[in-house]
């Protein structure tokens, strides 16, 4: 077995800057004065701010240490199911840092922003090609924001046909953002149960779909990592009753270059550029959730739209049926440039291969661990696989203990207790960017944890043992959150 990583060396405790500061310390030096001093107007004097006084080296060490407590894709494997935590190539950051992009202001006259508009226009075209949809808006700032755009488009479409619809069908495997986005647009969510085989069945949809139902939100592949193989039949049932199909495209990493949602009955979908297209997931920073539609829904897209005329680009705000603006200016442009750079560096073949590798890696893990953990849906998976802790619970430890113990061995835990229809779910999405050695290490460590659990479950209840912070009291943290460092 590969040697698990064990933490060694110094991990500093860190005070708040306010606790560390001392009156009179300075972290800057002013240039030598070469003009005469003059009194400033007292009305311009700044109010006394509660800012700590610190030296330069204290500030540098403080932030460097805090940055080292972080765990991210550049530190290690992050098999967080449904989140597609693939490595983000550094060339994307390099392209987005070109001064032509970083120094352009959203209020520039259009003539001076042609390059940025061209990138955005071409990204829209690339995403149309990848999804098989007819038009794209890059405005939404996240997947959930794309869903909101999609639901507003559903509503605008039905209203334009003088049809009042109040309900929406949502499978029991859906991400929580789906019913939340629907509710924000005033829809009542009607849950649909997946079949024994983990996918939706047309008969179930037929029973629930009526002319008061705006449509259905489907995630494909779904959050069990299974392809919704009846989607064409389902879309026919929904369309026949005048409804629309929304595809949650968060799992697009399984099907790039293989399935075009626009060709299997989808009317609206979102993509998560910070998942499938390798832009950073944030850490507070922005994401992007472009919304893609077919021809009949084009007039409802958010404005402004980017229009190409000859070799030049302009923005068009005049679309009478548009749902309006969803984001200041044009969306999170820095993220869009990174996705554009990723798509160009991968090329069509590269994107397809990425999906194939993502699926292969997930199946490799599923096969290697199916004798270790209960596999509720025992069939080939797409880009992620979902186990349960049924057998471990009998021995006195759970998914939560396994997740916490993984931290001790240098892995970010997988997604746990989701999807909700699997008790004690452990949802592993390795992505295509992990090497076979790293997949094997994760497999070995999970087997090791199960051995530890069968010998001494109490030890697992105490995990993590080697992390900066020990296990939190989650009930107290949820009931009495302390957000100010108290």
Ligand X SMILES: *Cc1c(COP(=O)(O)O)cnc(C)c1O
Note whether 286 binds ligand X by CB under 6 A.
no
Q: CB 466 → ligand X: shortest distance, Å?
A: 29
Note whether 431 binds ligand X by CB under 6 A.
no
Q: Which is nearer to ligand X, 221 or 410 (CB)?
A: 221
DSSP code per residue over 228-266 = -TTHHHHHHHHHHTT-EEEEEGGGGGGTTTT--GGGTT-
Note whether 250 binds ligand X by CB under 6 A.
yes
**Binding test (CB under 6 A) with ligand X, winner from 219, 253, 322, 355:** 219
Return the residues of window 124-143 that contact ligand X according to CB under 6 A: 142-143
Q: Which is nearer to ligand X, 384 or 389 (CB)?
A: 384
Of the candidates 321, 322, 304, 323, the residue with the CA atom closest to the CA atom of residue 313: 304
Note whether 177 binds ligand X by CB under 6 A.
yes
Number of residues binding to ligand X, judged by CB under 6 A = 14
**Binding test (CB under 6 A) with ligand X, winner from 175, 201, 298, 383:** 175
**Binding test (CB under 6 A) with ligand X, winner from 131, 137, 223, 332:** 223
**Closest residue to bound ligand X by CB:** 143
**Binding test (CB under 6 A) with ligand X, winner from 179, 243, 289, 453:** 289
The pair phi, psi for residue 460, each rounded to 5°, is -70, -30
Q: Which is nearer to ligand X, 293 or 460 (CB)?
A: 293
Note whether 287 binds ligand X by CB under 6 A.
yes
Other beta carbons within 10 Å of 18: 11
Chain centroid to Cα 5, Å, comes to 27
Q: Which is nearer to ligand X, 223 or 392 (CB)?
A: 223
Phi-psi region of 310 (alpha: psi -120 to 50; beta: other; left: phi over 0): left
Whether the Cβ atoms of residue 139 and residue 325 lie closer than 8 Å to each other? yes
Helix (H, G, I), strand (E, B) or coil at 285: coil
User: What are the residues whose beta carbons fall under 8 Å from the beta carbon of 146, sequence distance 6 or more?
Assistant: 140, 249, 270, 271, 272, 289, 290, 291
Note whether 389 binds ligand X by CB under 6 A.
no
| Cα–Cα distance list, 178 to 56, 129, 253, 333 (Å) | 47, 25, 19, 25
Q: CB 144 → ligand X: shortest distance, Å?
A: 3
Note whether 332 binds ligand X by CB under 6 A.
no
Q: CB 310 → ligand X: shortest distance, Å?
A: 35
Note whether 414 binds ligand X by CB under 6 A.
no
Note whether 248 binds ligand X by CB under 6 A.
yes
User: What span, in angstroms and rounded, lies between the C-alpha atoms of 364 and 436?
Assistant: 9
Q: CB 373 → ligand X: shortest distance, Å?
A: 21
Whether the Cβ atoms of residue 200 and residue 194 lie closer than 8 Å to each other? yes
Q: Which is nearer to ligand X, 142 or 375 (CB)?
A: 142
Q: Which is nearer to ligand X, 219 or 294 (CB)?
A: 219
Q: CB 195 → ligand X: shortest distance, Å?
A: 19
479-486 CB contacts, 8 Å cutoff, 24+ apart: 485/16
- Tokens 């984001």 locate to 327
- Residue numbers at the binding site for ligand X (CB under 6 A): 82-83, 142-144, 175, 177, 219, 223, 248, 250, 272, 287, 289
């Amino acid at each position: 077995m590969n040697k698990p990583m064990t933490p060694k060396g110094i991990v500093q405790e860190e005070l708040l800057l306010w606790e560390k500061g001392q009156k009179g310390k300075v972290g800057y030096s002013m240039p030598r004065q070469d003009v005469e001093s003059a009194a400033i107007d007292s009305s311009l004097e700044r109010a006394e701010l509660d800012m700590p006084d610190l030296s330069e080296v204290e500030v540098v060490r403080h932030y460097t240490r805090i940055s080292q407590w972080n765990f991210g894709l550049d530190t290690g494997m992050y098999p967080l199911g449904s989140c597609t935590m693939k490595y983000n190539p550094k060339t994307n950051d390099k392209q987005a840092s070109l001064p032509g992009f970083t120094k352009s202001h959203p209020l520039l006259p259009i003539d001076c922003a042609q390059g940025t508009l061209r990138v955005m226009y071409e990204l829209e075209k690339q995403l149309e090609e990848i999804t098989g949809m007819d038009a794209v808006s890059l405005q939404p700032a996240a997947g959930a924001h794309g869903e909101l755009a999609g639901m507003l488009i559903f509503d605008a479409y039905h209203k334009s046909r003088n049809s009042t619809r109040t309900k929406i069908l949502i499978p029991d495997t859906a991400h929580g953002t789906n019913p939340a986005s629907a509710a924000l647009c005033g829809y009542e969510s009607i849950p649909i149960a997946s079949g024994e085989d983990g996918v939706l069945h047309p008969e179930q949809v037929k029973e629930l779909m009526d002319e008061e139902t705006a449509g259905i939100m489907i995630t494909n592949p779904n959050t069990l990592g299974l392809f919704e193989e009846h989607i064409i039949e389902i879309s026919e049932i929904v369309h026949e009753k005048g409804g629309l199909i929304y595809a949650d495209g968060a799992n697009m990493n399984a099907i790039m270059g293989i399935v075009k949602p626009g060709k299997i009955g989808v009317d609206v979908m979102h993509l998560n550029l910070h998942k499938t297209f390798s832009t950073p997931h944030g850490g507070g920073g922005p994401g992007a959730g472009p919304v893609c539609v077919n021809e009949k829904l084009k007039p409802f897209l958010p404005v402004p739209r980017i229009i190409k005329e000859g070799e030049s680009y302009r923005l068009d705000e005049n679309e009478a049926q548009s749902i309006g603006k969803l984001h200041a200016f044009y969306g999170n442009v820095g993220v869009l440039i990174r996705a554009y750079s990723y798509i160009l560096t991968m090329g069509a073949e590269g994107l397809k291969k990425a999906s194939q590798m993502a699926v292969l890696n997930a199946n490799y893990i599923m096969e290697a661990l199916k004798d270790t953990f209960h596999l509720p849906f025992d069939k080939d998976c797409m880009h992620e696989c979902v186990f349960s802790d049924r057998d471990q619970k009998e021995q006195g430890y759970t998914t939560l203990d396994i997740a916490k113990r993984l931290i001790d061995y240098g892995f970010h835990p997988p997604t746990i207790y989701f999807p909700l229809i699997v008790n004690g779910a452990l949802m592993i999405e390795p992505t295509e960017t992990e090497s076979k050695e790293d997949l094997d290490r994760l497999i070995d460590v999970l087997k090791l944890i199960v051995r530890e659990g069968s010998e001494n479950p109490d030890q697992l209840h105490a995990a993590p043992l080697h992390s900066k912070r020990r296990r939190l009291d989650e009930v107290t943290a949820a009931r009495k959150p302390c957000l100010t460092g108290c």
